[in-house]
Structure 1
């Protein structure tokens, strides 16, 4: 499903979704296609569901966003790891 379809189908809602097609571009993660997992009126409920899924399946690309957002270009944030010898 594309973001425009999600916005049309679930206006003014919080959605928890999995990115099924995405790429990186200039420090942004651009989601092209997604699968809706759940939808909520409340951001806190959406965040709890996101955390629950992320704990169980950390390798999946899961997000939660409000459908009023114009696009799915998400700023990438990298966490570094220090290696001790």
Structure 2
């Protein structure tokens, strides 16, 4: 499903979804196709569901966003690891 379809189907809602097709470019993650897992009226419940899914399936690319967001261009942030001596 494309983001535009999700916006039309679930206007003004928070959605928890898995990226089905995505690519990285210039420090951003572009999500081309998604599968909606759940939808919520408030961000707190969406975040709780996201955390639960991320803990259960850390290898999957799962997000939660509000459908008012114009696109799915997400800045990639990598956590660095400090080497202890």
Q: Distance in 2 between matches of 1:65 and 1:55?
A: 18
TM-score of the pair, normalised by structure 2: 0.96
1:61 is matched with which residue? Answer: 61
Q: Distance in 1 between matches of 2:83 and 2:57?
A: 25
The superposition leaves residues 3-60 of structure 1 with CA deviations (integer Å, 9 ceiling, x where unpaired) of 0000000000000000010001111100000000000001000000000000000010
1:76 is matched with which residue? Answer: 76
1:47 is matched with which residue? Answer: 47
Q: Distance in 1 between matches of 2:68 and 2:26?
A: 23
Query: Segments of 4+ in structure 1 off by > 4 A?
Result: none
**For the aligned residues, what is the CA RMSD?**
0.9
TM-score of the pair, normalised by structure 1: 0.96
Q: Which runs of 5+ in 2 are unaligned?
A: none
Q: Distance in 1 between matches of 2:70 and 2:27?
A: 18
Q: Distance in 2 between matches of 1:43 and 1:74?
A: 18
